[in-house]
Chain A
Amino acid sequence: AQSVTQPDIHITVSEGASLELRCNYSYGATPYLFWYVQSPGQGLQLLLKYFSGDTLVQGIKGFEAEFKRSQSSFNLRKPSVHWSDAAEYFCAVCMDTGRRALTFGSGTRLQVQP
């Protein structure tokens, strides 16, 4: 069965510092890949997605992610973190055909220090 691993449960960075959140997946083929963010009191917001093509994808709020097939990874990055980025981040995958249910990682909670 497919699985998604986010090895970092909690990360703290200083405002203005760079950020990388890790995501690894286990799948029989290349799935569709997503990053979602959940801010306090809010629902899940889609940050970015990868279906095919260019392995570096740009998303909203200045985030980007890079798909690396050889490492089965889809890490999320931001060059300079803002205090408003404090939230919980979820990596998710689904099949490229057929079943569309998303499989989520356990989430990474980001804390931003002033």
Chain B
Amino acid sequence: EAGVTQFPSHSVIEKGQTVTLRCDPISGHDNLYWYRRVMGKEIKFLLHFVKESKQDESGMPNNRFLAERTGGTYSTLKVQPAELEDSGVYFCASSLTGVEQYFGPGTRLTVT
């Protein structure tokens, strides 16, 4: 069974540009989560989808971040425009039950 996959693995963009991160959950997992780890700090929750609906987006830092999950399969996280403080590792996780979460390898975003 394939695990959670994320693309790209690494992205380097300039301040003010747009970046779109993609996450493909484990097949059949309705729950999909985004997390972020900035500058070696704690991993922080961003949002939670159940199928295509946003169940909890309390962790989204501001309106420059837009997450979508059309059709309830893969999800994208767009940052527009990117700022320096957005640099970090973005993790996606999926879950069948909503409790045990299985993480992808992460996307390392560097904003210069």
Contact = CB atoms under 8 A, between A and B. Distances in A.
Interface string B40-65: 01111100100000001011000000
A58 interface: no
A100 B56 CA distance: 9
Nearest to B98: A100
A71 to B, nearest CB: 21
Interface stretch (A21-29, A44-52, A76-84): A44-52
A90 interface: yes
Interface in A24-65: 32, 36, 41-46, 49, 51
A46 B102 CA distance: 7
Interface residues of A, number: 22
Name which of B41, B102, B103, B106 has the most chain A CB atoms within 10 A of its CB: B103
Contacts of A105: 42
A100 B95 contact: yes
B56 A32 contact: no
A106 B41 contact: yes
A111 interface: no
Interface of B: 3-4, 31, 33, 35, 41-45, 48, 56, 58-59, 91, 93, 95, 98-106
The 3 A-B residue pairs with the shortest CB-CB distance, nearest first, are A44-B103, A43-B105, A101-B45
